[in-house]
C-alpha cells in the first residue's frame, strides 16, 4: 500500500518542484527523512513510515542544479571516486539538514535528515536520564551510541555533548562529516571540526585533536580500524571519547570492534576494551501505541566489574546476563527497557516482542505484567 501526504502548492514554482520548499515541508510535518531520486516522486519518513509527497516526479535538472550549488570541487572529486558524499544544508528560518548525495540506477539521488535547531535533552529523547548523565560525566573512557541508521545515535551524542556544555567547564572537540548540530559555548568551549573542510579523515582529525587540549572528543562515526585505534588511545590517555557504531547491541558492538583488528591483536584488544570501554548505549526506535511518533528502547552497558572480567576473558555472549544483573551500576537490557515502555502504555505488545533480541524470554516476563505481576524490577 502506497502512503501519501498532502501535496502543498508552495513546493512548486513555475511547474517545477523546489527542493528547498520540500525541506520546509519536511520540517513542518516533523519528518525525519526526505528521499529524492531523479525521475521519482519525493517521499518523507514520518513516524517511521515512508509517505510520498504528491504524484509528480522530480526532474534531473532540479536535482543536478541543487547538487551543483551545494558541493565544491573537492566534494565533486570525492563523489566521483566513492559514489556518495555528505553535506550539511541550512535553510533560513527552518534549520539544518544532513544531506547524502549518491547515485542509483546511474542517476542522482538525495536523502536529507532533519537536524532540529534545539539540541534535545535526555528527557526530550525519552532516554533514562540518570544513567545517561553518569555516562556523559565520566572523566575518561570510550562511550558508544549504537543502532541502525535513523535510530537516534547522532542525536544522543549531541545530547551528551550539550549536557556537558551546560554543566561542566571543559574543552569539547567534535569531529563530524558533516557538522550537524551547532553548539554555542556555555560553561564549556566547543570546537567543531568537519571532515573535508578542517581535516582529511576521522583518524587524522582524532590524532590532531590530542594536541588541541581536549577534555572530551566526540567522533561522528567509527568507520575503520585507524579511527577505533586512535579513539582507544585517546581514552587510555585520559580523555572522554563519544562515538557511534552501526551495531544493534552490546554483544555485536564488542564483536565488531574486535573484528576490525587482525587475530594476533585480539588478546591485547580485549584488555584495552576491559580498561577503556566505559559504556555502550544501543537504541531501537518503536512506534508509539497512539501512532504519533516513536520512542527508543535502550540497552545500556557500563564498565562494571563483571563486564570488565567478561571483556578481558572474551566471554562476550555472557554480556546480556551481566547487563540484566547490573542495574545497580546503571546497566539495562533491551527486555527491561521494552517492559517499561509496555507497562507505561507507550507501545503494543507485538512491537515489543518484534524488537526484542530474546522474545521468548520477554514473553515470559510479560506474563507477570498481564496477570498483575510486577515484571522486572527497576
Q: Which residues contact 236 (CB under 8 A, 6 or more apart)?
A: 272, 275, 276
List the alpha helices (DSSP H) in the chain.
Answer: 19-28, 60-70, 73-82, 129-136, 153-167, 202-209, 225-236, 250-259, 266-276, 305-313, 319-325, 334-343, 349-355, 359-370
Which CATH superfamily does the domain covering 129-332 fall into?
A: P-loop containing nucleotide triphosphate hydrolases (3.40.50.300)
How does pLDDT run along the chain (378 residues), one tens digit per residue?
455 554 444 445 444 578 999 999 999 999 999 999 999 999 999 988 999 998 889 999 999 999 988 888 888 888 999 999 999 999 988 889 999 999 999 999 999 999 988 999 999 999 999 999 999 999 999 999 999 999 999 999 999 999 999 999 999 999 999 999 999 999 999 999 999 889 999 999 999 999 999 999 999 999 999 999 999 999 999 999 999 999 999 999 999 999 999 999 999 999 999 999 999 999 999 999 998 899 999 999 999 999 999 999 999 999 999 999 999 999 999 999 999 999 999 999 999 999 999 999 999 988 865 444 444 433
Q: Show me where the domains of the chain are located.
A: 4-115, 129-332
Cell digits for 139?
572523566
User: Distances in Å between the alpha carbon of 21 and those of 7, 124, 259?
Assistant: 11, 27, 44
Strand pairing category for 216-219 and 240-245: parallel
DSSP string of 169-217, one letter each residue: --EEEEEESS--SPPPPSSSEEEEEEBTTTBS-HHHHHHHHTTS--SEE
Contact 338, 356 (CB under 8 A): yes
Q: Is the peptide bond before 214 cis (omega within 30 degrees of 0)?
A: no
Q: Which residues contact 350 (CB under 8 A, 6 or more apart)?
A: none
Does the pTM surpass 0.85? The reply is: yes
The whole-number pLDDT of residue 2 equals 54
CATH topology (fold) of 4-115: Beta-Lactamase (3.30.450)
The whole-number pLDDT of residue 86 equals 92
Q: Which of 139, 152, 145 is nearest to 219 (CA)?
A: 145
* CA geometry: angle 168, 136, 196, nearest 5 deg: 90
Phi, psi of 167 (to 5 degrees): -120, -10
Amino acid at each position: 500500500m502506497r502512503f501519501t501526504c498532502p501535496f502543498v502548492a508552495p513546493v512548486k514554482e513555475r511547474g517545477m518542484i523546489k527542493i528547498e520548499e520540500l525541506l520546509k515541508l519536511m520540517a513542518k510535518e516533523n519528518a525525519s527523512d526526505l528521499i529524492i531520486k531523479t525521475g521519482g516522486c519525493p517521499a518523507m519518513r514520518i513516524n517511521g513510515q515512508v509517505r510520498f509527497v504528491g504524484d509528480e516526479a522530480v526532474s534531473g535538472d532540479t536535482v543536478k542544479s541543487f547538487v551543483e550549488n551545494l558541493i565544491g570541487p573537492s566534494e565533486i572529486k570525492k563523489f566521483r571516486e566513492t559514489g556518495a558524499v555528505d553535506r550539511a544544508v541550512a535553510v533560513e528560518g527552518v534549520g539544518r539538514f544532513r544531506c547524502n548525495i549518491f547515485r542509483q540506477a546511474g542517476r542522482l539521488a538525495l536523502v536529507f535528515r532533519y537536524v532540529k535547531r534545539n539540541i534535545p535533552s535526555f528527557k526530550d529523547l525519552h532516554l533514562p536520564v540518570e544513567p545517561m548523565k553518569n555516562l556523559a560525566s565520566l572523566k575518561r573512557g570510550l562511550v558508544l551510541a549504537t543502532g541502525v541508521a535513523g535510530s537516534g545515535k547522532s542525536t544522543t551524542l549531541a545530547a551528551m555533548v550539550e549536557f556537558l556544555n551546560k554543566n561542566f567547564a571543559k574543552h569539547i572537540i567534535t569531529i563530524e562529516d558533516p557538522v550537524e548540530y551547532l553548539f554555542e559555548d556555555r560553561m564549556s568551549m566547543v570546537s567543531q571540526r568537519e571532515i573535508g573542510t578542517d581535516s582529511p579523515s576521522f583518524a587524522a582529525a582524532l590524532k590532531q585533536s590530542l594536541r588541541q587540549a581536549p577534555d572530551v572528543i566526540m567522533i561522528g562515526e567509527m568507520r575503520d580500524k585507524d579511527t577505533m585505534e586512535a579513539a582507544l588511545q585517546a581514552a587510555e590517555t585520559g580523555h572522554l571519547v563519544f562515538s557511534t557504531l552501526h551495531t544493534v547491541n552490546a554483544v555485536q558492538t564488542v564483536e565488531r570492534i574486535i573484528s576490525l583488528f587482525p587475530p594476533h591483536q585480539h588478546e591485547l584488544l580485549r584488555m584495552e576494551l576491559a580498561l577503556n570501554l566505559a559504556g555502550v548505549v544501543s537504541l531501537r526506535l518503536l512506534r508509539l501505541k497512539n501512532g504519533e511518533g516513536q520512542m527508543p528502547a535502550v540497552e545500556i552497558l557500563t564498565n562494571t566489574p563483571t563486564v570488565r572480567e567478561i571483556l578481558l576473558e572474551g566471554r562476550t555472549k555472557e554480556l546480556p546476563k551481566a547487563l540484566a544483573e547490573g542495574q545497580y551500576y546503571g546497566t539495562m537490557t533491551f527486555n527491561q527497557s521494552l517492559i517499561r515502555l509496555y507497562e507505561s502504555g507507550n507501545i503494543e505488545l507485538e512491537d515489543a516482542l518484534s524488537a526484542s533480541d530474546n522474545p521468548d524470554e520477554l514473553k515470559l516476563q510479560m506474563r507477570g505484567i498481564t496477570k498483575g505481576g510486577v515484571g522486572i524490577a527497576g
